[in-house]
Structure 1
Amino acid sequence: MRSFLFVPADSEKKLRKALGGAADAVILDLEDSVALADKPKARALAREVLAAPRGSMKLFVRVNALTTGLTGDDLDAVTAAAPDGLVLPKSESGADVKRLVEMAGLPVVAIATETAASLFNLGTYGDCGPELLGLTWGMEDLAAALGAQANRDALGRPTGPYELARTLCLIGARAAGVEPIDAVYANFRDLAGLEVQCHDAVRDGFTAKMCIHPDQIDVVNRIFTPSPEAVARARRIVDAFAQAGDAGVIGLDGEMLDVPHLKAAKALLARVAG
């Protein structure tokens, strides 16, 4: 999965548009985008969507945080309709993921950087088991938790605390053996800025991205799909190591390549195959 699209589960219009689009996964949101008074409506609509015939698009549900007292009602409404997974906001550690899995019996993507305490716990997700699908990060709730006046500089770039959250999320996900998913790009009209951010994310090791508007999906899918050139080079690297026998280092196109290059090439090919 390359693209995860958030959609407020209380909006029939937005649900129709999202479900008719090209996102790899749609996240039916019961949390921040839905007012408290509208949560019963959102749960009912989410259940209807999940019960309808599905295509290849994955359907996730973002439940309310475990500390809100609303999570149980969310799960009562949607679990029987078998979403492909849950998105857990404001996860503070791997213990929160395990608690949600025990409650719902469903796979989880955790938003792992939305509280101050969570930044100290990005190394705790490694024993969550196969039910943990990925980790992603977020800036807005973290900024509120830190009492920040802003979370971007004059050029629109995340400031230090949020770059740290991004980096820790990437490292924590890789340490846990799950997918690192980049955060949303909030200015949905700025597709050029989104493209730059997607290229940066792919460069650094993220494999997917959260989205907040259908117009972002084509850009995200294109950039997070390995290019034919990258796939061809990865195959050449794997073949060259195979031909070299048990060599720890090979030469290819005038470049010295060692085992980390081989691992990266195999990982890219596994993504394409999977």
Structure 2
Amino acid sequence: MTFVMGPALLFCPADRPERFQKASERADAVILDLEDAVAPADKQRARGAILAQLGAGGETPELDPSRTIVRINPAGTEEFEKDLHCLAHTPYRTVMLAKAESAEQLATLEDFHVIALCETAAGVLNAPAIAAAPNVVALMWGAEDLLASLGGTSSRKDDGGYRAVALHARSSVLLAAGAFGKAAVDAVYVNIPDLEGLAVEAADAVASGFGSKACIHPTQAAVVRGAYAPSEADVSAATQLLQAAASAGSGVFQYNGKMIDGPILKHAEATIRRAGIHS
């Protein structure tokens, strides 16, 4: 099974099965959350909900396994072991490991494709080693858990922008993912009504190189998908630039008053790829 990592990943509490299908329809992939979105007393019921929506023999799930992620509890916990026991009876083989902190933790998930969620100081500092693990397909960073692990109180300043330590973590995880050819997922935007702020942050995620952004509400998914879908003007400009490069031959050349070299052409190629995804 090949997992499809689209731009908008939508969290859905695993103990709310009535929301599973809607979440899957609104986003590129749904994240069934067995960790923070579920109270400790309800985790077993949440695992039961995942199993209950499977068909006979677990072979015909309501959700497409290629577009479904299950966020599991941190490695080394009792809930982690229970999560794995549950998943063994499902077709879901892409998991998000909460609070990933070391490459050694990934060895226990060798039968899964793993999105490693680096949301503690140890996780961020060890992001390169985590990204190097062969079963890791992507890295994601988390702001609020990171600040909590540091004894802080908020990841953002009064103007809504991230504090320096959060920006450092965001960049570190993105660079680690890129260094090992893995995808990078940007953190959630917790101010749900502020769709304008989300659009600005999602646009920055696109420009910075994040392949996806996680969402916590269905209304956010459309905004994120919109940010990743290049406009007709963007596609036209990228196409014309690549055509000019083909005519110019190899090396640096001048186009519309600007010097164009390899990296600029790669930016244009990325725009064309994103247009293909959304066409």
Tell me the SS of whatever aligns to 2:176. Answer: helix
Percent identity of equivalent pairs? 38
Tell me the SS of whatever aligns to 2:204. Answer: helix
Select 1:101's aligned residue among 109, 127, 152: 109
Select 2:97's aligned residue among 69, 88, 99: 88
2:260 equivalent to 1:257: yes
The TM-score, its normalising length taken from structure 2, stands at 0.87
Name the residue aligned to 2:237: 233
CA contact (8 A) 2:65 2:91 kept: no
Task: Report the AA paired with residue 256 of structure 1.
Answer: M
Name the residue aligned to 1:267: 270
Name the residue aligned to 2:164: 160
Q: Take 2:234 and 2:93, find their aligned partners in 1: how far apart are those partners?
A: 30
Name the residue aligned to 1:59: 68
Name the residue aligned to 1:7: 12
For these two proteins, the number of residue pairs brought into alignment is 267
Listed one character per residue, the Cα deviations across residues 177-235 of structure 1 (whole Å, up to 9, x for unaligned) are 11111100001111111111112222222221100011111111111122233233333
CA contact (8 A) 2:8 2:28 kept: yes
Task: Report the AA paired with residue 201 of structure 2.
Answer: Q
Q: Take 2:129 and 2:240, find their aligned partners in 1: how far apart are those partners?
A: 37
2:123 equivalent to 1:121: no
The TM-score, its normalising length taken from structure 1, stands at 0.89
Tell me the SS of whatever aligns to 1:169. Answer: helix
Gaps of 5+ in 2: 1-5, 55-59
Name the residue aligned to 1:147: 151
Tell me the SS of whatever aligns to 2:89. Answer: helix
Q: Take 1:204 and 1:142, find their aligned partners in 2: how far apart are those partners?
A: 21
Tell me the SS of whatever aligns to 2:99. Answer: coil
Q: CA shift at 1:149, angstroms?
A: 2.7
Gaps of 5+ in 1: none
Q: Take 1:109 and 1:149, find their aligned partners in 2: how far apart are those partners?
A: 26
CA contact (8 A) 1:184 1:209 kept: yes
Task: Report the AA paired with residue 116 of structure 2.
Answer: A
Q: Compared with structure 1, are the counterparts of its residues 15 and 55 closer, same or farther at alpha carbon in structure 2 (3 Å cutoff)?
A: closer
